[in-house]
Amino acid sequence: MSENELSERDHEGPVVAFEHVAKVYGDGEMAVRALDDVSFEIHAGEFVAVMGASGSGKSTTMNIMGCLDTPSSGQYLFKGVDVKTLSRDQRALLRRHYLGFVFQGFNLLSRTTALENLELPLIYRRIAKAERRDMAMAALNAVGLENREHHTAAELSGGQQQRVAIARAMVTTPSLLLADEPTGNLDTARSQEIMELLARLNEDKGLTIVLVTHEDDMAAFARRTLVFRDGNIVHETRSQAA
């Protein structure tokens, strides 16, 4: 896959497709089957929650979707491309150009301003300084932090830091935003604000979002929920608004 191949493809199909995906760690009696014959699709504009207890397979699913791991068997197709056939460098390009990540721990540079944190992924994409400044400001505006661009991460509250992290994930206009327990380090009020923000970005900007969570009240913001247990999808629900 070349750097431009995905952008040149016809993307009428799903953004994400798992086809009979299994993931096994270890060998013999020590083998652990983290996923077992899992199949599902996620289409552009969806907001999907992936739920389950520890060891259910939700984190393995997230890692495969984020091109951080590959299936032991079956296929993971991202916009029609079988990710398992890509080299490590090609998977890195896919992550850089098509995926956005939001983590529980924010992962911001603490002594760097909010604006500079957002510009960093754009530097990796070799975007000119003036253009990346405009793109970073637009992303900060989208998360309601346009007046905090010169504050360092250390000067922001936890909720504000997570907003910057979300802005950083979306500044490159990814095809898929992966949010892994994004409210895990926040109190109830800040968690509500972050989930309302993600829901608004999904609705207003059509951002395709996959949320990994173990909390029912956080998953309720999604339009569709996949519940994992012992490496399988055991239940699927859709909200009335979906």
For range 210-228, the mean pLDDT: 94
Supply the pLDDT for residue 242: 47
What does the pLDDT look like over 136-153, one tens digit per residue? 999 999 999 989 999 999
- Number of structural domains (the chain) is 1
Res. 221: pLDDT tops 80: yes
Segments of the chain assigned E as strands: 16-25, 32-42, 47-51, 73-78, 81-82, 99-103, 176-180, 209-213, 224-229, 232-238
- Could you tell me which of 107, 106, 108, 80 has the C-alpha nearest to residue 94? 80
3-state secondary structure of 19: strand
Left (φ > 0), alpha (ψ -120 to 50) or beta: where does 178 sit?
A: beta
For residue 12, what are the domain limits? 5-238
**Which value, in Å, is the radius of gyration of the alpha carbons in the chain?**
18
Residue 136 parent element (H or E) = helix 129-142
pLDDT band at 10 (very low <50, low <70, confident <90, very high): low
What does the pLDDT look like over 87-132, one tens digit per residue? 999 999 999 899 999 988 888 898 999 999 999 999 988 899 999 9
What does the pLDDT look like over 42-92, one tens digit per residue? 999 999 999 999 899 999 999 999 999 999 999 999 999 999 999 999 999
> Lowest-confidence range among 24-38, 64-78, 228-242?
228-242
151, burial (CB in 10 Å: exposed 0-12, middle 13-18, buried 19+):
middle
The alpha carbon torsion through 230, 233, 235, 236 (nearest 10 deg) reads: 150
CATH classification at residue 223: 3.40.50.300
Supply the pLDDT for residue 8: 46
Mean pLDDT of the chain: 91
199 C-beta neighbours (distance < 10 Å), count:
18
156 CB-near residues (< 8 Å, 6+ apart): 114, 148, 164
